[in-house]
Structure 1
Amino acid sequence: MNKIALFGALALSTFGTFAVAAEPALRIGIEAAYPPFAFKTADGKIAGFDYDIGNELCAQMQVKCQWVEQEFDGLIPSLKVRKVDAVLSSMSITEDRLKSVDFSKKYYHTPGKLVMKEGSQIQDPGVDLKGKKVAVQRASTYDRYASAELTPAGVNVVRYGSNNEAFLDLLAGRVDAVLADVVNIDEGFLKTDGGKGFALVGPDFNDPRYFGRGAGIAVRKGDAATAEKLNAAIDAIRSNGKYAEVQAKYFDYDIYGQ
């Protein structure tokens, strides 16, 4: 190889190295206070089903995940002002949210439930919870449902920044019930020492008008390119067994849904 050809080859090699190094990371917003989907370990690191699924999706798309931790009600605003490129935080795909952001396809779908003291009987939430205090996470689908259906029925809805805070007030007797995702209640509360003496009660909450079509990954309105890449990656990890591997770490049942 002559000197000119050698110089050209080295230049191309160097350019390629810089091109890879300069590839932008996918900045993903997440709330790390929603076990088992996202939580902090003893050493302060983020862990959970959402976090692991996100890392598998990034690996499939050959990009670096850059996780940005925030409270849940700040995730969509951060997406809209371009502080993050996507939100992967157990966010339900609802018609209301679709007015301001777009979504990937779902990556899981589970119903909502009430958790109360063991022995509580709830047949009709609008009737049986009248006058009681029901906790929900602020800006969640459960908040929207409670505002539209429970508040007009005389239920006192109390809003919290995270479900962990709501569970603490349930333990302290400051609220009578918490309305949240069934998996979060089961894994994040009932299976802990604090959950003793409490139980899931009443019907499933899955009205698509409020609870949508499962949890998806939010992207900015019109960002079809990112949504399509995420959809392809979801399909890929569902097919190659990576989704099943992550699911098995946290659940002994299928949470993908129908």
Structure 2
Amino acid sequence: MKIIKSIIAAAVLSAAAMSTAQAELRLGLDSAPYEPFYARTAGGEWKGFEIEVGEALCKAMNEECVWVPIAWDGIIPALTSNKIDAIVASMSITEERMKTIDFSNKYYNTPAALIAPKASEIKSLDDLKGKTVGVQVSTTHANFAEAKIPGATVKTYQDFNEHNQDLFAGRVDAIVADSLALEPFLKSKEGEGMEVKLTLKDEAIFGLGVGAGVRKADTELKDKFNKAIAQILEDGTYDEIAKKYFAFDIYGGAN
């Protein structure tokens, strides 16, 4: 009897431990820095606009959250295989991605841009014929380059910062990326010789903004994100965070 009681007690404790372990909402983000949205400090803490927004959403949802870094091209598989509960990582809401996962309403929206050396004579996408364009793998920017820049060689990178360095080194002629994420590079010593050549718009490819990615079956979590997004927009929390990082409307107007 004592043995049976011990087994039952152990099972209860194990179940409680599992329940506690699973109580945290696991938010996936790219393991590479993507400033000013997210980056890891020397002490190992995550900082940035999206980190603050994510934590504000967790507070509004009354959820304990933990950030889980994952290589970008593995982040959707990590979600669908239940290694994370949501993607909060500057992922654009697109029809292609919605074939596999679902999204909350947007929580920000910025346009894509093509940057190149100031000395280059690139004025249109046609001017990229025969040139090499750098993009981060598994992004809407990569999809755009493949579909909309005929005659160019598209070179993909695992890390957003790697294509910036290759542009500086002259190994690519231009890169396509988020206009806001490119700002720190353009203001850096390496990027001072670069400039935005084109602002790119294509709703079919770039989508309607950035949202939290969730599994298609997780309608309850999607609804919680949507209510939390609405709450932090309404109560001023979102604006308070955004003003720390941007001098313009990062939300991008009406949804």
Work out the CA distance in 2 between the residues paired with 1:110 and 1:230.
20
Report the residue type matching 1:124 in the other structure: S
TM-score w.r.t. structure 1 length?
0.87
Aligned match for 1:226, one of 221, 224, 234 = 221
SS in 1 for 2:129: coil
Q: In structure 1, what is the equivalent of residue 157 of structure 2?
A: 160
Matched positions, count:
235
Q: In structure 2, what is the equivalent of residue 78 of structure 1?
A: 78
Q: In structure 1, what is the equivalent of residue 203 of structure 2?
A: 208
Q: In structure 1, what is the equivalent of residue 9 of structure 2?
A: none
Q: In structure 2, what is the equivalent of residue 173 of structure 1?
A: 170
Work out the CA distance in 2 between the residues paired with 1:191 and 1:39.
17
Contact 1:137-1:143 within 8 A present in 2 as well? yes
What is the percent sequence identity of the aligned residues?
43
Work out the CA distance in 2 between the residues paired with 1:101 and 1:107.
17
Contact 1:34-1:162 within 8 A present in 2 as well? no
Work out the CA distance in 2 between the residues paired with 1:238 and 1:94.
23
Q: Does 1:139 align with 2:113?
A: no
Consecutive unaligned residues of structure 2, counting only runs of 5 or more, are 1-15
Aligned match for 1:191, one of 187, 190, 200 = 187
C-alpha displacement of 1:88: 0.4
After superposition, the CA RMSD in angstroms is 1.6
C-alpha displacement of 1:66: 1.0
Report the residue type matching 2:206 in the other structure: F
Report the residue type matching 1:157 in the other structure: V
Contact 1:38-1:50 within 8 A present in 2 as well? yes
Q: In structure 1, what is the equivalent of residue 234 of structure 2?
A: 239
Work out the CA distance in 1 between the residues paired with 2:47 and 2:189.
21
Report the residue type matching 1:176 in the other structure: D
Work out the CA distance in 1 between the residues paired with 2:104 and 2:163.
29
C-alpha displacement of 1:254: 1.0
Contact 1:118-1:197 within 8 A present in 2 as well? yes
SS in 1 for 2:172: coil
Consecutive unaligned residues of structure 1, counting only runs of 5 or more, are 1-17
SS in 1 for 2:51: helix
